[in-house]
Amino acid sequence: MKNRLILLMVLSLAAPAAALSEEGHEHDGLDDFSGIEIEDGHAAHSKEGHQHEEEGHGHADDGHEEKGHGGHGDDDGHGHDEAASDVELSEAQQRIAGIETMIAKRQSLGDAITAPGEAMLNMYRTTKVISRIPAQVMKRHVRLGDHVKKGQRLVTLSSVEMADAQGALMAAHVELRRVEKLGRKVVSEKRFVMAQITFQLAYAKVNAYGMTKKQIESLVKTGDATRATGEFHLLSFQDGTVMSDDFKVGELSNPAEELMEISDESVLWIEARLTPEDAARVELGTPARIKVGQRWLSGKVLQARHTLDETTRTLAVHIEVENRNDELHPGQFVTAVIEGKKKRHGIVVPVEAVLRSPDGDWQLFVQTAPGRFEPKEIEILETVGDQMLIGGIAPGTVIVGKGAFFVQSEMAKGGFDPHNH
């Protein structure tokens, strides 16, 4: 009981001191008696203070954004630039990039008829090399794939029949020279005429067997009958390439047996297979485009068959196409795009001149001044091979026909710099 009174007295004396120090340090003198309550109070006080710090930090961030990042884009000139509206290229840049301009012209373009095709030799520019008489192959002068000129020696042959004909020619020539030397006063008219006829017949026979006039004259000028060995040369009838040479030196060649085939590959045929309905929409002379890999070649319809293929039930159309760079070879499969009879009129440009703009529209590049180009949106009306019929530009406009992709790339590089550097 005594101890309890002492404790009450101590508490009554400590209470005013605790009250006086509550604002300064509420923890002093109370930790030993009310730990739980003090801990709760301290937690609440700490939480309130922490929230205050967060709010203050948030205000600081808000102020930083308003005066820093927000104003950086709008007020100090370091924001995004708009895309450039044109691009200027030097002559050197245009030359290196292969940029070519063209004048847009109003033309007609037929509806597209697409069909598979196969490259083949132009039969009108192909010759076969044969022997007209039985002969043995003595020497080969050219090989498969060689380019030859008209009149060039291809192969040397030897024939018993040719030897007999050459011997008769030499004898006839000797007789003709004799009667011509004796003159008509000594030799009868009949003998003189007979000598001429005999020589002419012998000459014609040797020529028909395969010797050219130049070869015959060279033989006759020698005046040596021992030169009638039966050898003769087959010459090329045209400029071209040796497409086949299926023979061996020493073998016997029979008449009409092909020794070589010479063809001019600078102009080939494409045989396209069309349905009867599509074939009815095609006219001779109609322009066509031939796709070889990723390249396009120009051609025109040369001829069309009038009988259906029994297996495919299609009609063959021959398209003549220039092949001067040797890009196409016989037997190669291609895609043929032929213009139909139904025509549309407008500006016709190469497909490579038209590109997608950044917003997805079709556009090409117009030259506004030497070396300066700007994009122009257009409308695509028809596509036939690598040609496009478009609307949206006037005839006479100078546009980029080749190298448009480079122009677009340069514009993209020069027209968007996030910091205007």
pLDDT per residue as tens, the chain (421 positions): 445 544 445 444 444 444 434 444 444 443 443 433 334 444 334 444 444 444 444 444 444 444 444 344 444 444 444 455 788 898 888 888 889 999 998 888 878 888 999 999 999 999 999 999 999 999 999 999 999 999 999 999 999 999 999 999 999 999 999 998 888 788 888 998 999 999 999 999 999 999 989 899 989 988 887 888 999 999 999 999 999 999 999 999 999 899 999 999 999 999 999 988 888 888 888 889 999 988 889 899 998 888 888 788 888 999 999 998 888 999 999 999 998 888 888 899 988 899 988 888 899 999 999 988 999 999 888 888 888 889 889 999 999 998 888 998 888 886 433 333 3
What lies within 8 Å, CB to CB, of 144 at 6+ separation is 242, 243, 244, 245
Q: Where in the chain is the domain with CATH 2.40.30.170?
A: 112-122+265-342
HEC-encoded secondary structure of 62-101: HHHHHHCHHHHHHCCCCCCCCCCCCEECCHHHHHHHCCEE
Which CATH superfamily is 112-122+265-342 part of?
Answer: Efflux pump adaptor protein, beta barrel domain (2.40.30.170)
Q: Measure Cα distances from 421 to 36, 80, 88, 286, 415 in Å.
A: 64, 11, 18, 54, 11
CATH T-level assignment (fold) for domain 87-108+345-415: 2.40.420
130-263: which CATH number, 3.30.390.30, 3.40.50.10210, 2.40.50.100, 3.40.1280.10? 2.40.50.100
Using the structure block, give the residue that is written with the tokens 């042959």. Answer: 157
Contact, 180 vs 196, CB < 8 A? no
Contact 140, 245 (CB under 8 A): yes
Single pTM value for the model: 0.60
Q: Cβ of 307: how many Cβ atoms within 10 Å?
A: 7
Burial environment of residue 41 by CB neighbours within 10 A (0 to 12, 13 to 18, 19 or more): middle
CATH 2.40.420.20, the chain: domain bounds: 87-108+345-415
